[in-house]
Structure 1
Amino acid sequence: MMTRNQITTFLGLSVALWVGLLLWRGIPVTLPMLAPFSLVVGAVSGILLTFDRWLWNWPIFRGWLVRRPYLHGTWRAEIVSDWVDPSTGAGIPPIMAFMVVRQTGSALSLRLLTAESRSESVSAGVEVCTDGTFEINVAYRNRPGSPFRHRSEVHYGAMLLTTESSTPTRLEGEYWTDRKTIGSVTLTDRRRGHPATFTEAQDAFAVVD
């Protein structure tokens, strides 16, 4: 979203051009005509803030004004990893997780919660592909809980999710980490709310171990 200083600058340039054109055409410009400028800046700032926070995802704006999938909420996730337990030499079964997404018209953050760790996005963005589909690109930091640090260190990774809809019910993608592991991620069954812990997310989805 544009800052107030940016809005003021762009509106100021617009007013300067408008005044210049009026003077060039011989139309007199008086100071009272410019007095509402600060009110206009405040009004535009308020409108942009409201749009960025709440209105951007209204169906009426989708497609022509906003091209961004609506991901806000908490998703049930399944992770399939190629990680091998060094103590056993065996792989691991699919991991149940929850993806907590907070989103506005200009910002996106993701947090992945599992029973052993949490991953938080360092940066995240949405790219509109030439075929009209969307790619969600995420760089993240994973922090395992202290009881699991002996076999799983803090690490960084990246994730790419794809969807064909601006109101998706399912997202699929893959991830890779600086521990040289890769895997797939599938998001389904979105709910409202933003639980802070894995246990809270289980309760929200009424998941039974």
Structure 2
Amino acid sequence: MLIKISAWSTLIAYIVLVTLKKPNGGVGFISLIPEAVGIPPIPILIFDKWLWKWIPFIKMPKLKKEYKGLLKYNFGGEDLNKNIQVFIEQTFTNIKIKLKTNEVISNSIVAEIIEENGDFILYYNYITNPYSKYSDLNPIQIGTCRLDVSNPKKINGIYWTNRKTKGDIFLE
């Protein structure tokens, strides 16, 4: 998507420059290319960071920066709950997730929101970084999370890890 926006922005910038500067000959036209290429990154960065959130035909959910919620999981045959905080940094092209509990902080490695059967699903892989006093009982894990973000006010999903743990996530 950004490649298309970048290409069209460069073409439009080039046409505007040709119209305004009225170059003479082939060298004049060619000399405008570097100038045209240098203009689009600014509007593209503005679009990627902020503008996309205000365009009504872009259906991607606009997630809050912070959620609080509950992690329900099974450990040693016992069903347990843990309070969590989730922090999200979202642009049009990138999303980063940080989850905090009293024992660990996990950070996304890769993440993407996709449309799946009419719902918007956030998939991300993550690595946990346990606090030292919990690292023996709860060592570093790599996991995957699947969250339904169709309603950004109330997010639910599941996770599973390389240590064969799994659970449900409820965020508001």
> Does the pair score TM above 0.5?
yes
Is the contact made by 1:83 and 1:182 (CA closer than 8 Å) also made in structure 2? Answer: no
State how 1:88-127 maps to structure 2 within 5 Å. Answer: 91-127=78-114
AA partner of residue 184 (structure 1): D
CA distance in 2, matches of 1:67, 1:115: 35
- Residue 131 of structure 2 aligns with which residue? 145
CA RMSD of aligned residues (A): 2.7
Q: Who is 1:37 aligned against?
A: 33
Is the 2:86–2:98 Cα contact (8 Å) retained in structure 1? yes
- Which residue in 1 is equivalent to 2:147? 161
CA apart distance, 1:147: 0.4
| Greater fraction of residues in strand | 2
Q: Given the superposition, is the C-alpha separation of residues 111 and 126 from structure 1 closer, same or farther in structure 2, using an over 3 Å criterion?
A: same
Cα pair distance change 1:177/1:125, threshold 3 Å: same
In structure 2, distance between residues paired with 1:159 and 1:102: 16
Q: How does 1:1-209 map to 2 (within 5 A)?
A: 2=2, 7=6, 11=10, 30-58=26-54, 61-63=55-57, 66-84=58-76, 91-131=78-118, 133-165=119-151, 168-188=152-172
- Structure 2 CA distance, aligned partners of 1:174 and 1:152? 19
Identity level (%): 23
Corresponding residue number in structure 1 for 2:21: none
Q: Deviations over 1:16-36 (max 9, x none)?
A: xxxxxxxxxxxx964334443
The answer to whether the Cα contact below 8 Å between 1:52 and 1:106 also exists between their aligned partners in 2 is: yes
Distance 2:56 2:114 in 1: 15
Query: Whose Rg is larger?
Result: 1
Normalising to structure 1: TM-score of the pair?
0.68
> Cα deviation per residue 1:155-200 (whole Å; 9 max; x = unaligned)?
11100001334xx211100001111111100110xxxxxxxxxxxx
Please give the secondary structure, in 2, of the residue aligned with 1:82: strand
The Cα shift of 1:118 comes to 0.7
CA distance in 1, matches of 2:31, 2:61: 40
Residues in 2 aligned to 1:77 and 1:169: alpha-carbon distance in whole angstroms: 12
- Superposition deviation, residue 11 in structure 1: 4.8
Per-residue CA distance 1:34-79 (angstroms, 9 max, x = gap): 4432232222111101111121111xx133xx33211140110210
Mapped partners of 2:50, 2:27: distance in 1: 36
Q: Which runs of 5+ in 1 are unaligned?
A: 16-27, 85-89, 189-209
Letter of the structure 2 residue corresponding to residue 157 of structure 1: G
